[in-house]
């Protein structure tokens, strides 16, 4: 049996300092027992024996422990409970160094004195957090206090002290600090921590003139999962989303969940919009793959908004607000997209609001009409039917694409009325066509989710007298995103009426062959982008189209290839045995009276015509930009733009090989040289390719930093937003043009 020796009892003389005893007692009991005059030793009378017993009981309860060392820091006493906890026998502990038995943990390294140092100071210490040096799996923490004691010659004789277990408190504190840093659901950083991180990053980067990008990600249709599968399933889905994000981004500490289904990524020193666009695309792709949650399959999508500091804001508020605007635009652009912030976005949001207002009145004002695009038998070139495509002639803006106004109609709750009108109009006009030409009408997923759709279809057929088998409804994969029992019964109800069903835009969305097996489609429409890719070298799209055609054949479905523009695409599509073709290679959509005229003879055979091969997309436009030559900036009109070059108009007789820096605004400069010169127009080739801007447009990969502008003498605050380089500032030296401009040319 071990002899118990209490440190304060100094049993050699049978005296204990009342200060020691009361001090310990106060600490242990949590009460503040004032220390009496420590100079007067007391004899070991009955009441101090009583106190010792109490302390012994306390020690045995395991809630606190005592220790003492000699002048060299060697342990002279330790409560047995600690020896058990550290897993070393007391005999081995007594005589060993106190500083070696305990340690302070990593976090103390930066802001606490080391334990050996503290022990040499010979002054008291309180509540020093310590753990066993040989720390096992379960980390135990103690708050340790000590008082030096001195021998009669007033020489330092060692320490006496106590310890209490603070493991539980520390765990709670750690959890609390975790809560302040991490999102409890996904383990990603939380909004609070992310905003701190962004603030400190931007503050530091402003000084260091470094770039930093912010990506905001919002899940599409997440609400639907929550509503149909329940919140626990929604939570499980969010965890999977977080895992996928970590995988794509590669660094957990860059990603946060802001709350709900919104995530944010900070990318330090990244301003290359080519790289940012690629990353955004990879994120969207990864998050759009199907998920399995509690045995249910669900599909969501994601939209991404990107803003880059310093161009799009130098404070975290500005940067986040602009990333948010970009995100909103990405969602408005049809979801499943990314968008970079640009100064036009604010204007675009306003435009959209005005368009929505105008759309409310468009039907009543007869601004809406239907165009029809021939669907042609690929083998015979004979038109078998038409796709009805809605058109809007805006009184001020002219023709507005349905790709623009259908999403607005869907969001503004106007699609029901518009869709119903389109269905009635198309049936009515198709009933007047010769022969047995079919008409295909597009049905938005929102219309499809309306129980009244079968009634609306029946009414359109009844009032027009069109046989149901001549009406085809085109449905996109969007309807399967909300796959429920209702989807099935809607398919059944429509089939019962006798209309045909086509799966539109196959290859753009979630393209699961599973839909084809279960849903009663009569036709698959292979999307334009898919066919386009197929003619590119090394594309596997051709093989996939062949597989789709084989499957469609086996399931007794027709196939239509959409958007065929060139003869090489048509050849490929014929080779792959696609049964029908729709595209400019045969005809653009035409008005009903044109259609009637062409079909006068009863049928309409079209000879395909178009470019021999597909060429890289050139965007036609009419946009004012700057063209800088030497130190002069010309105002020119950009007529078309591709990733590799542009056609500009406005400067006259420029020799081939002349170098221009095109200024597209927003710090976007592209170095280019003239390869063709035709009077007032020049064809230019860029030194560096442009990149996709996420919105069907193009942008330069990098922008000239406002910091560089500032270095050239222009204070950042003075730079007008969106047009840093050609701003008319006092610092700009007057320059002389080397070439005459179109104005001079016309005058001459
Ligand atoms: P969609 O159903 O995939 O229609 C095909 C689109 O491709 C049409 O665009 C058509 O004009 C275009 N197109 C056809 N051939 C070519 C080609 O060779 N090259 C190119 N570049 N394009 C070609 P449009 O008319 O602008 O319609 C866009 C989308 O708007 C349609 O895509 C459809 O989803 C929607 N939409 C059109 N009309 C209606 C409607 O009445 N109701 C609903 N809900 N949506 C409609
Ligand atoms: Mg369609
Ligand atoms: Mg389509």
pLDDT tens, position by position, 193-241: 898 899 999 998 988 888 999 999 999 888 888 888 888 999 999 999 9
Q: Is the CB of 390 under 6 A from ligand 1?
A: yes
The domain limits of the chain are 15-172, 182-343, 351-598, 619-741
- Give the position, in ligand 1's atom list, of the atom nearest the Cα of 443: 44
Q: Count, in order, helices (H) and strands (E) of the chain.
A: 25, 34
The predicted-structure confidence for 327-336, as pLDDT tens digits, reads as follows 988 887 777 8
C-alpha 525 – ligand 3 centre gap (Å): 6
Q: Is the CB of 565 under 6 A from ligand 1?
A: yes
Distance of CA 739 to the CA centre of its chain: 47
Ligand 1 atom 27: residue of nearest CA:
402
C-alpha 442 – ligand 2 centre gap (Å): 5
Q: Is the CB of 373 under 6 A from ligand 1?
A: yes
| Strand residues in 467-597 grouped as ranges (E) | 471-476, 500-506, 523-526, 558-561, 580-581, 590-591
Q: Is the CB of 374 under 6 A from ligand 1?
A: no
What is the 8-class DSSP label of residue 16?
E
628's CB contacts (< 8 A; 6+ apart) are 634, 660, 661, 662, 663, 669, 725, 726
pLDDT of res. 485? 63
331's CB contacts (< 8 A; 6+ apart) are 218, 220, 303
Whether the CB-CB separation of 75 and 101 falls below 8 Å is answered with yes
pLDDT of res. 257? 94
- Give the position, in ligand 1's atom list, of the atom nearest the Cα of 505: 3
Q: Is the CB of 401 under 6 A from ligand 1?
A: yes
Whether the CB-CB separation of 577 and 549 falls below 8 Å is answered with yes
Burial 556-583 (b: 16+ CB within 10 A, else e): ebbbbbbbbbbbbbbebbeebebbbbbb
Ligand 1 atom 45: residue of nearest CA:
442
C-alpha 389 – ligand 1 centre gap (Å): 6
Q: Is the CB of 568 under 6 A from ligand 1?
A: no
pLDDT, greater one: 133 or 651: 651
Was domain 619-741 assigned CATH 1.10.3470?
A: no
Lowest mean pLDDT among 19-33, 593-607, 701-715: 19-33
C-alpha 498 – ligand 3 centre gap (Å): 22
Return the CATH number of 351-598, one of 3.40.190.10, 3.40.630.40, 3.20.20.450, 3.20.20.70.
3.20.20.450
Whether the CB-CB separation of 660 and 635 falls below 8 Å is answered with no
The values of phi and psi at residue 461, to 5°, are -70, -45
User: At 338, is the secondary structure helix, strand, or coil?
Assistant: strand
User: At 527, is the secondary structure helix, strand, or coil?
Assistant: coil
pLDDT at 514 over 80: no
pLDDT at 98 over 70: yes
pLDDT at 20 over 50: no
Ligand 1 atom 13: residue of nearest CA:
563
Whether the CB-CB separation of 225 and 298 falls below 8 Å is answered with yes
Q: Is the CB of 588 under 6 A from ligand 1?
A: no
Q: Is the CB of 563 under 6 A from ligand 1?
A: yes
For residue 271, give the nearest of 202, 314, 210 by alpha carbon: 210
- Give the position, in ligand 1's atom list, of the atom nearest the Cα of 564: 18
pLDDT of res. 136? 58
Q: Is 707 left (phi over 0), alpha (psi -120 to 50) or beta?
A: alpha
Q: Is the CB of 407 under 6 A from ligand 1?
A: no
pLDDT at 499 over 90: yes
Q: Is the CB of 417 under 6 A from ligand 1?
A: no
Q: Cα angle at 565 between 563 and 566, to 5 degrees?
A: 140
Q: Is the CB of 587 under 6 A from ligand 1?
A: no
C-alpha 357 – ligand 2 centre gap (Å): 26
What is the 8-class DSSP label of residue 4?
P
Ligand closest to 422 (CA) is: 1
C-alpha 338 – ligand 3 centre gap (Å): 21
pLDDT at 42 over 80: no
Ligand closest to 406 (CA) is: 1
- Segments in 440-503 forming alpha helices (H): 445-448, 453-464, 485-497
Q: Is the CB of 566 under 6 A from ligand 1?
A: no
CATH class of this structure's domain 15-172: alpha beta
* Its pTM surpasses 0.75: no
Mutate to test the pocket of ligand 1, among 362, 389, 449, 588 (most ligand atoms within 8 A of CB): 389
The values of phi and psi at residue 589, to 5°, are -60, 140
Cα–Cα dist 530/275, whole Å? 24
Give 3's pLDDT tier (boundaries 50, 70, 90). very low
149 beta partners? 158
pLDDT of res. 456? 97
Residue 25: how many CB atoms within 10 A of its CB? 16
C-alpha 443 – ligand 3 centre gap (Å): 11
CATH class of this structure's domain 182-343: alpha beta
C-alpha 281 – ligand 3 centre gap (Å): 22
**How large is the average pLDDT for residues 485-509?**
88
Q: Is the CB of 610 under 6 A from ligand 1?
A: no
pLDDT of res. 509? 62
pLDDT of res. 6? 45
Residue 89: how many CB atoms within 10 A of its CB? 11
Residue 703: how many CB atoms within 10 A of its CB? 24
Ligand 1 atom 25: residue of nearest CA:
389
pLDDT at 713 over 70: no
pLDDT of res. 416? 94
Q: Is the CB of 419 under 6 A from ligand 1?
A: yes
| Most confident of the following: 369-378, 501-510, 549-558 | 369-378
Whether the CB-CB separation of 457 and 423 falls below 8 Å is answered with yes
- Give the position, in ligand 1's atom list, of the atom nearest the Cα of 406: 45
Peptide bond into 310 cis (omega under 30): yes
Give 721's pLDDT tier (boundaries 50, 70, 90). very low
pLDDT at 43 over 90: no
Cα–Cα dist 184/190, whole Å? 8
The predicted-structure confidence for 392-451, as pLDDT tens digits, reads as follows 999 998 999 898 899 889 888 899 999 999 999 999 999 999 999 999 999 998 899 899
C-alpha 390 – ligand 1 centre gap (Å): 8
Give 24's pLDDT tier (boundaries 50, 70, 90). very low
Task: Please provide the average confidence, as pLDDT, over all residues in the chain.
Answer: 83
Mutate to test the pocket of ligand 1, among 383, 393, 402, 448 (most ligand atoms within 8 A of CB): 402
pLDDT of res. 137? 54
The predicted-structure confidence for 625-661, as pLDDT tens digits, reads as follows 988 888 788 889 998 898 889 999 989 989 999 999 8
pLDDT of res. 519? 84
pLDDT of res. 138? 63
- Give the position, in ligand 1's atom list, of the atom nearest the Cα of 371: 25
The predicted-structure confidence for 548-607, as pLDDT tens digits, reads as follows 899 899 989 999 999 999 999 999 999 999 999 999 999 999 999 999 999 988 889 999
Cα–Cα dist 249/242, whole Å? 10
Mutual orientation of helices 402-411 and 415-430 as an angle, nearest 10°? 130
C-alpha 641 – ligand 1 centre gap (Å): 23
The predicted-structure confidence for 457-468, as pLDDT tens digits, reads as follows 999 999 999 999
**How large is the average pLDDT for residues 155-180?**
84
Cα–Cα dist 165/157, whole Å? 26
C-alpha 441 – ligand 2 centre gap (Å): 7
- Give the position, in ligand 1's atom list, of the atom nearest the Cα of 390: 38
Ligand 1 atom 6: residue of nearest CA:
563
For residue 159, give the nearest of 242, 237, 97, 109 by alpha carbon: 97
Q: Is the CB of 406 under 6 A from ligand 1?
A: yes
Q: Is the CB of 375 under 6 A from ligand 1?
A: no
Mutate to test the pocket of ligand 1, among 359, 413, 442, 472 (most ligand atoms within 8 A of CB): 442
Distance of CA 42 to the CA centre of its chain: 73
Whether the CB-CB separation of 456 and 423 falls below 8 Å is answered with yes
Whether the CB-CB separation of 325 and 218 falls below 8 Å is answered with no
DSSP string, 498-512: T-EEEEEEETTS---
Cα–Cα dist 643/45, whole Å? 97
Residue count (the chain):
748
pLDDT of res. 607? 95
646's CB contacts (< 8 A; 6+ apart) are 638, 639, 640, 662, 670, 672, 683, 684, 686
User: At 677, is the secondary structure helix, strand, or coil?
Assistant: strand
Give 744's pLDDT tier (boundaries 50, 70, 90). low
Gyration radius of the chain over CA positions:
39
For residue 686, give the nearest of 612, 611, 616 by alpha carbon: 616
Ligand 1 atom 23: residue of nearest CA:
563
DSSP string, 704-720: --HHHHHHTT--GGGSP
For residue 66, give the nearest of 155, 159, 133, 138 by alpha carbon: 159
Distance of CA 500 to the CA centre of its chain: 38
Ligand closest to 373 (CA) is: 1
C-alpha 565 – ligand 1 centre gap (Å): 14
Q: Cα angle at 627 between 625 and 628, to 5 degrees?
A: 140
């Amino acid at each position: 049996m071990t002899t118990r020796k209490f440190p304060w009892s100094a049993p050699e003389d049978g005296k204990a300092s009342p200060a020691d005893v009361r001090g310990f007692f106060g600490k242990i009991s949590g009460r503040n027992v004032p220390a009496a005059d420590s100079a007067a030793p007391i004899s070991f009378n009955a009441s101090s024996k009583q106190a010792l017993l109490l302390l012994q009981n306390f020690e045995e309860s395991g809630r606190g422990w005592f220790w003492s060392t000699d002048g060299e820091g060697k342990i002279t006493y330790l409560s047995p409970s600690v020896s058990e906890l550290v897993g070393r026998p007391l005999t081995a502990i007594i005589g060993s160094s106190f500083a070696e038995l305990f340690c302070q943990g990593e976090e103390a390294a930066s802001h606490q004195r080391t334990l050996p140092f503290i022990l040499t100071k010979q002054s008291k210490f309180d509540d020093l957090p310590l753990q066993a040096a040989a720390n096992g799996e379960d980390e135990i923490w103690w708050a340790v206090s000590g008082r030096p004691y001195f021998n009669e010659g007033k020489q330092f004789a060692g320490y006496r002290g106590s310890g209490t277990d603070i493991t539980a408190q520390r765990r709670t504190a750690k959890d609390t600090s975790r809560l302040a840093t991490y999102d409890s659901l996904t383990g990603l950083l939380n909004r609070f921590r992310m905003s701190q991180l962004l603030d400190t990053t931007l503050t530091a980067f402003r000084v260091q003139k470094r770039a930093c990008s912010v990506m905001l990600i919002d899940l599409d249709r997440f609400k639907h999962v929550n509503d149909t599968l329940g919140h626990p399933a929604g939570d499980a889905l969010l965890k999977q989303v977080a895992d996928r994000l970590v995988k794509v981004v590669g660094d957990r500490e860059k990603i946060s969940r802001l709350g709900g289904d919104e995530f944010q990524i900070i990318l330090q020193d990244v301003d290359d919009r080519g790289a940012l666009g690629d990353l955004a695309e990879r994120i969207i792709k990864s998050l759009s793959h199907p998920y399995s949650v509690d045995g249910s399959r669900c599909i969501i999508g994601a939209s991404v908004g990107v803003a880059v500091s310093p161009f799009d804001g130098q404070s975290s508020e500005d940067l986040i607000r602009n990333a948010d605007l970009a995100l909103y635009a990405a969602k408005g652009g049809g979801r499943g997209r990314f968008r970079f912030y640009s100064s036009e976005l604010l204007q675009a949001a306003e435009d959209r609001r005005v368009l929505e207002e105008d759309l409310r009145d468009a039907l009543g004002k007869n601004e809406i009409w239907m165009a029809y695009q021939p669907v042609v038998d690929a083998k015979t070139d004979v038109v078998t039917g038409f796709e009805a495509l809605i058109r809007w002639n805006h009184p001020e803006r002219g023709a507005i694409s349905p790709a623009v106004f259908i999403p607005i109609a869907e969001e503004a709750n106007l699609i029901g009325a518009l869709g119903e009108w389109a269905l009635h109009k198309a049936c009515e006009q198709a009933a007047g066509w010769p022969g047995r030409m079919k008409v295909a009408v597009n049905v938005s997923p929102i219309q499809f989710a309306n129980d009244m759709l079968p009634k609306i279809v029946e009414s359109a057929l009844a009032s027009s007298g069109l046989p149901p088998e001549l009406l085809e409804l085109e449905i996109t994969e969007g309807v399967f995103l909300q796959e429920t029992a209702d989807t099935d019964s809607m398919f059944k109800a429509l089939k019962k009426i006798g209309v045909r069903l086509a799966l539109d835009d196959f290859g753009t969305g979630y393209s699961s062959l599973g839909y084809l097996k279960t849903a009663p489609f009569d036709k698959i429409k292979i999307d334009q982008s898919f066919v386009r890719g197929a003619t590119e070298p090394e594309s596997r799209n051709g093989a996939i189209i062949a597989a789709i055609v084989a499957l469609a054949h086996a399931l007794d479905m027709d196939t239509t290839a959409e958007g065929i523009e060139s003869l090489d695409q048509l050849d490929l599509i014929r080779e792959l045995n696609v049964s029908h073709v729709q595209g400019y290679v045969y005809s653009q959509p035409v008005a009903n009276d044109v259609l009637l005229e062409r079909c006068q003879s009863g049928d309409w055979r079209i000879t395909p015509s178009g470019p021999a091969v597909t060429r890289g997309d050139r965007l036609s436009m009419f946009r004012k930009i700057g063209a800088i030559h030497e130190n002069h900036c010309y105002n020119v009109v950009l007529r078309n733009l591709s990733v590799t070059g542009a056609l500009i108009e406005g400067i006259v007789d420029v020799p081939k090989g002349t170098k221009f820096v095109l200024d597209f605004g927003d710090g976007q400069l592209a170095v280019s040289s003239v390869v063709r010169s035709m009077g007032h127009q020049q064809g230019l080739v860029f030194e560096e390719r442009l990149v996709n801007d996420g919105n069907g447009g193009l942008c330069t990969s990098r922008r000239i930093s406002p910091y560089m502008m500032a270095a050239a003498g222009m204070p950042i605050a003075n730079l007008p937003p969106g047009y840093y380089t050609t701003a008319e500032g006092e610092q700009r030296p007057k320059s002389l043009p080397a070439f005459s401009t179109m104005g001079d040319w016309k005058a001459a």
